[in-house]
């Protein structure tokens, strides 16, 4: 149990996880109860709880995304996808499109040259290398009036910008990992990769 007045939270190294038994280790329950009851937040939290309770270990994340959108009464969903997952995004849009209007925006929307922003290039010799543009993705979805936006493989950092600029709530369907077939936890599960990340002292 940590003392929130003297130390930052360090839950990842906790061995007791008393919070799961109702302990308020950080003396934050009352404050966050008020936030979770806020009319802008409560429906999302309630929908998340409903999907977990009704479909625990029964539905894929894609299915849960659709179920959650139904629970929230969404009509229009935004799909912010990486161009490297365009084929997957087409299938996802088809699945979600059975029940919702889907507004899909590729990460290269806007066609801005990386040189215009002084960004490093993957291939410095290339005459043109277009930057990912999460600002454009968010703007186009805001203009379209989406009710919920879904991330499909945006780069680390670009996803953060998109979340910050999106008017609608954002959920992640696919977390990009170019090395591990978009399974970031593979780095944790595989001892060989883990050794590279945590070399012996």
CATH of domain 75-197: 3.40.50
Q: 97 and 91 in contact (C-beta within 8 Å)?
A: no
pLDDT tens string for the chain (201 positions)? 444 456 899 999 999 999 999 999 999 999 999 999 999 999 999 999 999 999 999 999 999 999 999 999 999 999 999 999 999 999 999 999 999 999 999 999 999 999 999 999 999 998 999 999 999 999 999 999 999 999 999 999 999 999 999 999 999 999 999 999 999 999 999 998 888 999 887
What residues does each domain of the chain span? 75-197
Measured CA angle at 137 (ends 89, 166), to 5 deg: 110
Classify burial at 158, counting beta carbons within 10 Å of its beta carbon; exposed 0-12, middle 13-18, buried 19 or more.
buried
End-to-end CA distance of the chain: 28
Q: What is the pTM of this model?
A: 0.92
Which residues make Cβ contacts (< 8 Å) with residue 84, sequence separation at least 6? 153, 176, 178
Distance separating alpha carbons of residues 30 and 200, to the nearest angstrom? 42
């Amino acid at each position: 149990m940590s003392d929130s007045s003297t130390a930052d939270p360090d839950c990842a190294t906790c061995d007791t996880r008393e919070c799961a038994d109702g302990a308020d280790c950080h003396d934050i329950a009352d404050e966050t109860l008020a936030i979770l009851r806020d009319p802008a937040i409560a429906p999302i939290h309630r929908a998340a709880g409903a999907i977990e309770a009704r479909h625990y270990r029964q539905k894929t994340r894609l299915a849960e995304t659709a179920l959650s959108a139904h629970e929230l009464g969404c009509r229009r969903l935004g799909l912010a996808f990486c161009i490297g997952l365009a084929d997957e995004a087409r299938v996802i849009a088809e699945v979600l499109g059975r029940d919702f209007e889907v507004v899909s925006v590729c990460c290269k929307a806007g066609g801005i040259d990386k040189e215009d922003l002084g960004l490093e290039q993957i291939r410095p010799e290339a005459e043109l290398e277009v930057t990912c543009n999460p600002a454009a993705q968010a703007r186009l979805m805001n203009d379209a009036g989406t009710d919920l936006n879904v991330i499909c493989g945006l780069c680390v950092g670009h996803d953060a910008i998109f979340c910050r600029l999106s008017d609608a709530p954002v959920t992640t369907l696919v977390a990009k990992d170019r090395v591990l077939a978009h399974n970031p936890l593979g780095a944790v599960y595989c001892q060989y990769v883990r050794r590279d990340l945590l070399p012996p002292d």
